[in-house]
Structure 1
Amino acid sequence: MFSLQRAHANGDRYLLLLGADLMLRERAIVSALRAYPGPVIGMTEDPVSGANRYFDHVLPASSYKAKPALKAVEEFERQTGLKPDAVVPIYEMNLHASVAIAHHYGLPALSDEALRRSRDKHTMKVAFEEAGVSCARHRLFSTAEELRAIAAELEFPLVLKPRDFAGSVGIIRVNAADELDDAYEHCRSSLMEVAGTFDLTDGRFQAEEFFVSTHEVSVEVINYEGSRAVLAVTDKNKSAPPYFAETGQLVPSRETGNAALRELALKACEALHIDRGIAHVEILVNGDELSVVEVGARPGGDGIMDLIDRVYGFSPYDLHIAAYRRTIEELPPIPDTPQGIAATGFLKAAGGTITGVHRPHGFDPVERALYVTAKPGDHSRPPTSYLGREGVIECFEHGRGPGDSQEFQARVAELAAAHSQNLFSVEP
């Protein structure tokens, strides 16, 4: 524990920040320390080996499970007399815990209805349909037998996914009925691999019709007590079919000026009753046709907030935290002309066991940072979700704009591939 005596107007309050210890979300801590006049505290199940040194203190509990998380906050209050002044979720899987803690202490939070609609992909799709938000037709299933039955009600190709998770885990495309059993096994086994960590339940899956698109974007929307505004649009790079892992992000998107896309993102947030903080809206684009994939009631991951900061000169985390502190006076206007173009590209080692991690051969002028997360002895997983990454590069070039997005995205992907080949020795 560092000193918890930093001055605060109320004396016995702190800001609880959940999920900012995760990679590419850490700059939320910077925003919190910059804005909050008191201690900033995190939470992790293993604070000794997993604590982030920028927090003033880290509570010893899983921030993914509401009851243990609330219990840890109450125990900290008994020990120190300190209470949370705001509870700010940064990651999808922190939402339930953040709402439980906030409600217990009478603090601003997502509404129960917003939580219900945004954390279950089925409830989300139903809300979209009722509000006239374009999205894919879907059905629910729990077993392989149920999947085969409901597949007859939909048109192939299909996309299978867990209802309660994120990061592309378990998501797979199915082109024909004879692929259903193998696809079900991938969907279920991927979910069960992380179920214990995130307190997820088996048998909660859905199948939806595949929307033919040329590309996918995400829209970051700031929501605040009945009002909302678009902050930025991001282009996504995706892995090869049948998987949908995100391999890179880019700001500003080629769709930045698409008014219909922006309006659809705002309408999607409204349909889910998201009334606080940044929401991450994923949308498929095929010319004038748009289809909302899903919405996360939290800031986008993969360093998207940092890309926006580089390109537009403000941190979206500042607004997200202010929304939970109720210190926003008015929502900001749409960002002005970008200062440049920024992107991330994820590193992917060849399949097998990593036997060595080497020094990089050099850097391209657009590269701003390289982070390697793999170490010798790690098994390089297939690129099916965020779990298959071995690191990331961050790139920026001044004076570029949306018209350069596809060219720059390809360049960053090539740099990531070159680093992946040079950095890792792999034994098949």
Structure 2
Amino acid sequence: MTQVDILILSNGPGEVTTWVHPVVRALRQKFGDDRNQVRISVVLSPCSNASGKEAAIALSYPEVDRVQGAEYFWQFLLWGKTFDNWDWRSSGVVVFLGGDQIFPVVIGKKLGYRTVVYAEWSARWHKWIDRFGVMKPKVAAVVSQKYAHKFTVVGDLMLEAGESLDSNSPSAITPSLKTELIGLLPGSKAAKLAQGVPLCLAIAEYVHAKRPQTKFVIPVAPTLDLQTLASFADPQRNSIAEIFGFSGADLILPQDSRDKASLKTATGLTVELCQENPAYHLLSQCCICLTTVGANTAELGALAVPMIVLLPTQQLDAMRSWDGLPGLLANLPGVGTAFANTINWVFLTFVRRKGLLAWPNIWAQEEIVPEIMGEVQPPAIGEMVLDFLAHPEKLDDIGAKLRNTRGESGAAQKIAQIVGEEIREIRK
């Protein structure tokens, strides 16, 4: 059997957790755990949304053998050498799971490897990429017939969250048995956390004051430590908290292994902090979640968990969480603030009119889950939450619509199948 290297190219926290994880798991299921035969490496490229912990997260996956962080990417792209001077086997496949689609073209040529690209919305470099796994048929529909044989519809990798949840698990309880648990997902990057943490906690306080039986939990992003999260709940360290009328919260660390960390607000509300990752079983028990835009909305949609998507705009300069060139410009030293304000103004003026920013709404091309953008205040959102809790049939309707938008499943397994086909090509 020919020894093979599989090189995964990825970038941001969303891609590493929702794309890389299910794909490397599917690859090991297909090829086995013998690293002498199949070795899996991950190389990260720069991303404006990166936290700096993506390499550690990727390395924590038992299916992965080695990881190189984004800070060393450009020397690898230009010269084909990693920081630790990795050896490469003579045969291999480059699998693109985030970044710029030109990267697998260049790296594949340098290493002499076959190339497989996962494409959500558009596929490029058809002539030089060997295979494409695309999210939906329309991605392949615009491709020249000359390259049509390279395309396979695999479905949406974001939906692997739903696939990984065992419906027979004790945690996967039916809606009628759900406790009144509300999930708070304020984000993982400082740009979102600065507004998201005090806003979500202030809403929780408002709801709990009128409906004391409600419980709240924050699934902590794997890129975030508890002390950093708690700093955004401290008005002395996060002045934006005052805008939402939030008085602050203290971090309560567990006294023994049976307890969990929590945030205790000035009103006495305790919000549990869950560090399990992924937190799919926990999220599946939530009757509703409050979340920012991003990969969170895809995971909640895949789990059919109703949500309210919050896009507060009180601090435009704080909203630097943009992908691609806009994000890089908005985070430039010195001039980044001007770019951030300009980009956000354009977004609010033009993109806002179109709506559909949450992934489930994009999939369905209609607003299934509410998207609340503007100068959001806790009482208004709190009343929305209270209305949903008082009318569970509305939540059931959203959940049913979310289940209908899941689309084709099993994307990770289909990508692994494509990689297997490319390896067979190598061995011919």
Q: Which has the higher helix share?
A: 2
Q: Which has the higher strand share?
A: 1
TM over 0.5: no
State TM-score, norm by structure 1. Answer: 0.26
State TM-score, norm by structure 2. Answer: 0.26
Q: State which structure, 1 or 2, has the greater radius of gyration over its C-alpha atoms.
A: 2
> Does 1 or 2 have the higher relative contact order (CA < 8 Å, sep 6+)?
2
